Amino acid sequence: MSQPCPVLRGTSVFLAAHVIENLASIHAWYNDNEIQRLSGGIGSPISLEASSKRLERWMNPPDDQRHFAIHRCVDSRLVGFLHLAEIDPVDRVCKIGIVIGERACWGQGCGSEAIRLACEYAFRELALFRVSAEAFADNPRSYRMLTRAGLVQEGMQRAAVVRDEGRVDVYMFGLLRTDWGESGA
Ligand SMILES: CC(C)(COP(=O)(O)OP(=O)(O)OC[C@H]1O[C@@H](n2cnc3c(N)ncnc32)[C@H](O)[C@@H]1OP(=O)(O)O)[C@@H](O)C(=O)NCCC(=O)NCCS
């Protein structure tokens, strides 16, 4: 059975469970070449049926994943999505991924607040010890967003992904529950 997906409220955005009405936006964002390149997607168009299946999986995820829709507080508009993946109950770690699909919202703090809300959920509700994330070297906005959200750059994989222009590095980020101010237990 799927895990419950609570509403996580911030000042600019709130995170909530996905609903089927999110399909059109998610499908558009998965077919946006720039968003796909920046977030490490496959880069080729996907069908509405494939997007629909993806959204259904997000609405009924396996135990090692949590998927959230990101909404703007001011008008509840859907602006992006976020997931916690590879949730490991033994090591108590997970990986975080995010897309703010509405470009008009970029640079307004929506991404970093969504990341902070998701980290708080990971530490307080899931009792995880560590959250990891990655930023491609050709995506400085993503690097800044993770830093602003409090994650720390821990390392870098040289020439780890390929682009039309050549290979680029991938920065590895992490945040521990002790960095967050939670107990180390
Ligand atoms: C990466 C992404 C999630 C960031 O979301 P966002 O809402 O724009 O993030 P924030 O506004 O919280 O933070 C963005 C930071 O980048 C800075 N920034 C904005 N434009 C920038 C640019 N062109 N170059 C460098 N930094 C930039 C902002 O000033 C801000 O940093 P600051 O707070 O230190 O000033 C969003 O741009 C996105 O979805 N992009 C496409 C998909 C993607 O890249 N996903 C990978 C995420 S790991």
Report the CATH number at residue 123: 3.40.630.30
Q: Nearest-CA neighbor of 66 among 32, 112, 27, 117? A: 117
Name the residue at shortest CA distance from atom 43 of ligand 1.
39
Q: Does residue 71 form part of some domain?
A: yes
Segment 91-150, tens digit of pLDDT: 999 999 999 999 999 999 999 999 999 999 999 999 999 999 999 999 999 999 999 999
User: Is 168 inside a domain boundary?
Assistant: yes
Question: For residue 2, how far is its CA from the centre of ligand 1 (angstroms)?
Answer: 31
Whether 1 is covered by a domain: the verdict is no
Domain hosting 24: range is 8-183
130 located within any domain: yes
49 within domain boundaries: yes
Q: Which residues are CB-contacts of 22 (< 8 A; sequence separation ≥ 6)?
A: 55, 69, 78, 81
Distance in Å, CA 146 to ligand 1 centroid: 8
Element (H, E) at 51: helix 48-59
Q: Other C-beta atoms within 10 Å of 58: how many? A: 21
Domain count along the chain:
1
Tens digits of residue pLDDT in 53-106:
999 999 999 999 999 999 999 999 999 999 999 999 999 999 999 999 999 999
128 belongs to a structural domain: yes
Q: How confident is the model at residue 31 (pLDDT cuts 50, 70, 90)?
A: very high
48 falls within a domain: yes
Which residues surround ligand 1 with Cβ inside 6 Å?
35, 38-39, 98-100, 105-112, 133, 135, 139-142, 144-145, 148
Q: Is position 2 within any domain?
A: no
